[in-house]
Amino acid sequence: MNTLDLINLGSNKLKKQKINTHRLDSEILLSNVLKKTREQLLVKLNQNIKKTQFLAFNNLINRRILKEPIAYIINEKEFWSKKFKVDKNTLIPRPETELLVENLIKIYKNKKISVLDVGTGSGCILVSLLSELPNSKGIGIDISKNAIKIAQKNAFLHNVQTRIKFLNKSIIYLFNCKFDLLVSNPPYIDKKNIKNLDDGIKKYEPLIALNGGNDGLDVIKKVIYKAKEILKINGKLALEIGNNQSLKVSKELKRNNFKIEQHIRDYKENTRCLISTLIK
């Protein structure tokens, strides 16, 4: 059996389970087993496969059949053209979140700022920001100890560890700090809607990073309220939000002395992020 045979075998198994990305997933999983890039794999499709490699690949395919996300199977996800370590203690970074990073870099390019990342997870937002803002420093906080461990690994991986500190705590226990920018991708899914999520999300991604309470706004409101204390005057608050939350979150921001500067739309034209400025 060679590489092409195995790709086809895996692809067919996944296709039977109605996994749309069956071919790509099979290629990625075999690349992981053979410790090659996907490109290297595809230019040598006649390579013979050892039995141990076949068994390892089959195990990964069986995990994917159960709808486990590829990122968790290979413990890696690309974000901002960088590879980030992930596991089941962290949300999988999404392309939509890159839009937030992109807009913040435009605002702060060539500036020296202090950043707080609330609910840092894998650290992908903060690490990506500081990799583009070499004069800046940041703190990432998360209530999950295991997420903090992953974020620390990613800071070292991308050589920003000297400018980042990660803390295992909630924003409500953060005192005596002042930041230029507070950024957060908080849990924002309405509690009753979690059951409607895809199996790959609700069965595998951490519930604590998804559940936004009865209206999806519990954590967002806490972040906005606390941001008033810990942002400098004219400091910015950048939030990722859920579909159809823009109006409610905008009202909450205005009520707490924030002026909305920017609505960032995602690839489906939903307002995905709000950037606001503290004006008290």
* Model confidence pLDDT, tens digit, residues 143-155: 999 999 999 999 9
DSSP three-state, residue 201 = helix
Using pLDDT thresholds of 50, 70 and 90, give the confidence band for residue 198: very high
Q: From 172, 86, 89, 166, select the one nearest 126 (Cα to Cα).
A: 166
Domain of residue 21, CATH code:
1.10.8
Residue 230 and residue 115 share a domain:
yes
The pair of three-digit structure tokens given for residue 82, joined into one six-digit string:
């960088």
The neighbour count for residue 18, using CB atoms within 10 Å, is 7
Mean pLDDT score, 100-122: 97
Instruction: Provide the phi-psi class of 149: left if phi over 0, else alpha when psi is between -120 and 50, else beta.
Output: alpha
Residue 175 has what pLDDT? 86
The alpha carbon of 32 is separated from its chain's Cα centroid by a whole number of angstroms, namely 21
Average pLDDT over residues 53-77: 97
Q: In the predicted model, what is the mean pLDDT of residues 25-32? A: 97
What proportion of the chain, given as a percentage, has pLDDT over 90? 92
- The pLDDT score that the predictor gives to residue 156 is 98
User: Is residue 72 assigned to a domain?
Assistant: no
Average pLDDT value over all residues in the chain: 95
Q: 174 and 62: one domain?
A: no
pTM for the predicted model, two decimal places: 0.94
Q: What is the mean pLDDT of residues 155-178?
A: 95
pLDDT at residue 214, rounded to an integer:
84
Q: Are 82 and 38 within 8 A, CB to CB?
A: no
Tell me whether residue 218 is exposed, middle or buried, using C-beta atoms within 10 angstroms of its C-beta: 0 to 12, 13 to 18, 19 or more.
Answer: middle
Into how many domains does the chain fold?
A: 2
Task: Tell me: do 62 and 82 sit in the same domain.
Answer: no
Quick check: 60 pLDDT over 80? yes
- Residue found by looking up tokens 């409610």 in the block: 248
Asked if 187 and 210 touch (Cβ cutoff 8 Å), the reply is yes
pLDDT for 280 beyond 80: no
Among candidates 217, 219, 129, 221, which has minimal Cα distance to 180?
129
Cα 45 from Cα 43, distance rounded (Å): 6
Q: Indicate if the alpha-carbon torsion angle 164, 69, 272, 143 is positive or negative.
A: negative
Same domain as 99, residue 36: no
Choosing from 66, 88, 117, the residue where a domain stops is 66
Q: In terms of domains, do 219 and 137 share one?
A: yes
Distance (Å, rounded) from C-alpha 127 to C-alpha 204? 24
Does one domain contain both 62 and 163?
Answer: no
DSSP percent split of the chain into helix, strand, coil, nearest 5: 45, 20, 35
C-alpha to C-alpha distances, 239 to 54, 90, 113, nearest whole angstrom? 44, 18, 18
Question: What is the span of the domain harbouring residue 194?
Answer: 77-278
- Are residues 109 and 21 part of one domain? no
